[in-house]
A = this chain, B = another copy of it.
Amino acid sequence: MPDNLILKSALIAALFMTMSAPALSREATVAPAPNGIAIPKDYKTWQPLGVSHRTDKDSLRIILANPIATKAATEGKTNPWPDGSMLAKLAWKDSTHPNFAAATVPGELTHVEFMIRDSKKFADTNGWGYARWLGMEQKPYGNDAGFAQECSTCHLQAKETGYVFTRKAPLP
């Protein structure tokens, strides 16, 4: 390859990388979980399904649902949840509002976690794929793919509601 062609190719490649970078969402650069699940790139656009305060963890959470899961929850068709349902839970450490002492508000982000419904692909964990990313650096949780058994075992307590703890918060 002549030198000027190599240079030209390198320049085109550099230009392409520069142009592409802003188009990549923040989520596209996050490492996948050990079971191969990638962080859903559009989760911030999902609708709120619920909220919770964990007194054992001193933690506030918002639970979001993608359109398939929102429809299923609204219609009460959640046992089982339809394939394609996805739920996100965003969890923060408790903090006290700096000028409203009676309000507990989000402090440090502890993790963002997901449940992804695919009754065949995730048959070993009752049809739900689990994944979690820790902190603002979004470090994947778990040493190997076996971590999902830990999630699935705990979620057996919610078997009667399709292995999902969150009930849809009342809203007209």
Binding site for B on A (CB under 8 A): 26, 30, 44-45, 47-48, 50-57, 60-62, 64, 90, 92, 94, 97, 99-100, 102-106, 108-109, 112, 136-138, 157-158, 165-167, 169-172
From A92, A94, A172, residue with most partner B Cβ within 10 Å: A172
B47 touches A97 (CB 8 A): no
Number of copies: 2
Let me know if B165 and A100 touch, CB within 8 A.
Answer: yes
B157, A100: Cβ atoms closer than 8 Å:
yes
Knowing A99-B158, A100-B165, the reply to whether A106 touches B51 (Cβ < 8 A) is yes
Q: Given B102, B112, B136, B169, which contacts A92 in the complex, CB threshold below 8 Å?
A: B169
A48 engages B26 (CB within 8 Å): no
Summarize A's interface: helix, strand, loop or mixed.
strand
Contact A104/B172 with A48-B90, A64-B48 known, Cβ cut-off 8 Å: no
Given A45-B47, A47-B45, also A52-B103 (CB < 8 A): yes
> By the criterion CB–CB under 8 Å, are B109 and A171 in contact?
yes
Q: Give the residue name and chain of the B residue nearest to A106 (CB).
A: B169
Determine how close the nearest CB of chain B comes to the CB of A29; give it in whole angstroms: 10
Asked if B92 and A53 sit within 8 Å, CB to CB, the answer is no
Minimum CB distance partner of A112 in chain B: B171
Contact between B51 and A165, CB atoms less than 8 A apart: no
Chain B contacts of A55 at CB under 8 A? 102-104
Question: Quick check: A90 and B171 within 8 Å, CB to CB?
Answer: yes
